[in-house]
C-alpha cells in the first residue's frame, strides 16, 4: 500500500519501553502531520487484552516493567466490548495475584510477563489461564484494528498534546526529584 492511501495513523501509546514509546510517538506524529491525517493512540494494555477478547472470564495483560514489577490492568469482555475492571498500574506480581484472587474468576494472562512470572500466576491455581504461546504476544494488527475503530467513530487525538502513557515516572525524572 502506498502512503497516499493511508488515511490515519494508530499508535500504541503505552505503557512500554520509555525510549520505544518516545520514538514510536515521534514517528507517528511526523507521519500524521506530514500527510495531514488524523492520529489516534491505543493503550498498549488494552491492545494486549483484545488478543483474548473471545475468552471467558477476565483478561490480564502483563508486561515486564523491570524492577520486579509488571504493567497490568484487568478487563472483562462481552464480544468486542469490554469493561476495564482494574485500572492500569505498575505492581509487583505477588501483589497483583492478591488483587486477582479477590475477583474469584478465571483470569487469562497475556503478554511478555506471562512466562517471566509463571510461578507467581500459578498461585491462582485453576483460575490462572494461559493461552497458547503464539497468542500471548502483542499484535500490531490489534493496535491498527482498535485505532481504526476510533477513527471510524470520528475520534482523534491532538497531534501536539498527545504524549506516551508511562504509568510510572521515567528514571531520569526520579533521579532529578531525589538529588543526592
Q: Which domain holds residue 147?
A: 3-43+139-177
CB 29 within 8 A of CB 39: yes
pLDDT the model gives residue 3: 81
Asked whether residue 39 is assigned to any structural domain, the reply reads yes
Same domain, 39 and 66: no
Query: Which pLDDT band holds residue 179 (cuts at 50, 70, 90)?
Result: low
Distance CA 127, CA 124 (A): 5
* pLDDT over 80 (residue 63): yes
**Average confidence (pLDDT) over 122-149:** 87
Measured in degrees and rounded to the nearest 5, phi and psi for residue 141 equal -65, -30
**Average confidence (pLDDT) over 7-13:** 96
**Average confidence (pLDDT) over 70-92:** 95
CB neighbours of residue 83 within 10 Å: 10
Query: Which pLDDT band holds residue 47 (cuts at 50, 70, 90)?
Result: very high
Measured in degrees and rounded to the nearest 5, phi and psi for residue 18 equal -55, -50
CATH of the domain at 82: 3.30.420.40
Asked whether residue 67 is assigned to any structural domain, the reply reads yes
Distance CA 11, CA 144 (A): 8
Number of domains in the chain: 2
Amino acid at each position: 500500500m502506498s502512503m497516499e492511501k493511508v488515511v490515519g495513523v494508530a499508535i500504541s501509546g503505552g505503557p512500554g519501553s520509555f525510549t520505544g514509546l518516545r520514538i514510536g510517538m515521534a514517528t507517528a506524529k511526523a507521519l500524521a502531520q506530514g500527510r495531514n491525517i488524523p492520529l489516534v493512540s491505543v493503550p498498549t494494555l488494552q491492545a494486549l487484552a483484545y488478543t483474548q477478547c473471545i475468552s471467558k472470564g477476565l483478561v490480564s495483560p502483563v508486561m515486564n516493567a523491570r524492577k520486579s514489577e509488571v504493567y497490568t490492568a484487568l478487563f472483562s469482555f462481552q464480544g468486542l466490548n469490554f469493561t476495564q475492571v482494574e485500572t492500569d498500574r505498575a505492581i509487583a506480581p505477588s501483589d497483583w495475584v492478591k488483587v486477582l484472587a479477590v475477583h474469584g474468576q478465571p483470569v487469562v494472562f497475556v503478554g511478555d510477563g506471562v512466562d517471566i512470572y509463571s510461578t507467581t500466576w500459578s498461585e491462582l491455581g485453576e483460575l490462572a489461564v494461559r493461552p497458547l504461546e503464539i497468542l500471548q504476544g502483542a499484535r500490531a494488527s490489534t493496535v491498527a484494528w482498535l485505532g481504526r475503530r476510533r477513527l471510524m467513530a470520528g475520534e482523534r487525538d491532538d497531534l501536539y498534546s498527545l504524549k506516551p502513557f508511562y504509568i510510572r515516572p521515567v528514571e531520569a525524572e526520579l533521579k532529578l526529584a531525589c538529588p543526592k
